[in-house]
Chains A and B, each alone.
Chain A
Amino acid sequence: MRRRNFISLSLLFLGGSLLGHIATKRQLTTISAGLTEGFTHATENIRLDRLSHNLLLKMLNGQLSDDDRIQLTRELIVPNCHLYIPDNQGRHFGRPGFFRVTP
């Protein structure tokens, strides 16, 4: 009886996992399709390597919310501030040249 229950539960778990896997795969397929359609183009020249998977997934699904603002600042805005501050990576707090005039 116990063995039968164990086998039944195991089959149920495996079935659930399989369904979950299929669902995730479908989602990823959808995301992947989205990426190919526009996201790659939209993020051209933008550093996303600091962006966490969680934020990336939210962004891909258009679900960023107010709770994500600080994390977005740290992981997306700051790493990309070179877009509006020339030579940003060449300057660090406490080193000469922090303030300068560029041609």
Chain B
Amino acid sequence: MVESIRVVSRDVGRILEALSLIMFASIAVAIAWGEEYTIPALLISGAIPLAIGYLLTRLGKGAAEPGKLHGMVIAAAGWFLVAVFGSLPFFFVAATDVLHIGVLGSPPITPTTAAFLNPLNGIFESMSGFTGTGLTMAVHENHLPHVLQWWRSLIEWVGGVGVIVLTTAILARPGSGSLTLYESEARSEKIHPSIVSTVRTIWWIFLLFTVASVTLLWLAGMPLWDAINHAMTGLATGGFSITDNSIATYHSALVDFATVPVMVLGSIAFPVHYLVMQGNLDELWTDLQTRWVFGFFGLGTLVLTVLLAAGHIYSTPFQDFRYALFQFVSAASCTGFQTAGSLGTSWSVAEQLVVSLGMVVGAAAGSTVGGIKLIRAATLTKGTLFRIRGVFYPESVVRHFHMNGRSLSEGELAREFEEAAIISFLWFVFLGIGIFALILTVDPKYTLENAIFEVASAQGNVGLSTGITGPGMPTLDKVVFLFNMWIGRLEIIPVLVLLRALVTGFEVSP
């Protein structure tokens, strides 16, 4: 037990130390934008996790290498603590503004920044960022200091890399969607030997794609600062914006269409990206998940275009297609960028539910998206058909289940099928709990479909909003959404493992 605590303590401590480093690095942005008054806030914000991280690392010095159980606990605890400590820049910058300290030259505080004087709002924003959700407590993002705009984008970007590492290396197990891609690692009990090279490669690909995405968005017409921030949050499929109306701010079809491939890049499993970059371009159509990503995005766009055309919300078929493509890709990639300002009010129930379906299913495991993931949908669909067909065969027949070029025995299929079913079931259970809490407390002007949409958005780490989420929402709803975002990002099981470990300890039952 003590040894396990030391293992977790050391790795969580390292995560907090890394968090402090990116806070200190953000001082460069403060200097670049002439917001030096935020530097003390960033220094204090960074010093706290650095000190705690140092103490935790010291506590775990010399501890054993982590196994799978520890990996899950570290991921769940680390994500939670990073979200808590990541809220400090929001609070301290707001506090600096409200104190209006003359010697620091801080400007008068805006209502948007003042919302972060409530620490819960900062934790919500930080959890939303690190989980790549994009729901926000900032009413007018363009009124935030550049440092906080940057901090929101940076935490989504870092969280995006984190979740790829999580799903392709740490949590790789049967049914997780990573087994097919990283079979050898899934069988490894120790995570460190393979995770280091995996993390490095993922950072490298992420950095390359970010640079290309910034260039693309800038070329489409965004100012450079906007392009940097939206490329970071778009690739991480997080969806934080630095403008008041998300991508709709630009009133540009070109910007809309340029943002779509950025979101799609974030929706494809990064191991596939790696293989494609090695010259294996055929992975784009031979890999099951990637094929399903394009198929799902295409089908969703088509259905939504037809519904919008039938609803006569927009004036031309081109506008129907433009908004349908952007909003479905934004939802299914779990990004949450918005171009349709009327999504929560003018769009019909059918249109909102199609978008909700995209948010619930998501895209590829091993990418930055949330949701249940297409691989699980594929496993459940094909597995169900396999079981039904099995009724028509004699019991003596040995059958194999084929998926993504792999042949699985009935036992292996059962494991994959069970894992996908458990996660999908838990996903809907917690979705139901969130919806129940929301309809009890939310303003009566919002409908049930609004509540379903909002909770699906939080738990799917999407960030599209019908207008429910904001600094004025009830505290209970903020806490429930924090939990929804957290479990959605970690695919539920690690959070439950952490909670069990906190209650009963790390002992493995005989």
**A, B: real partners:** no
Residues of A within 8 A of B (CB): none
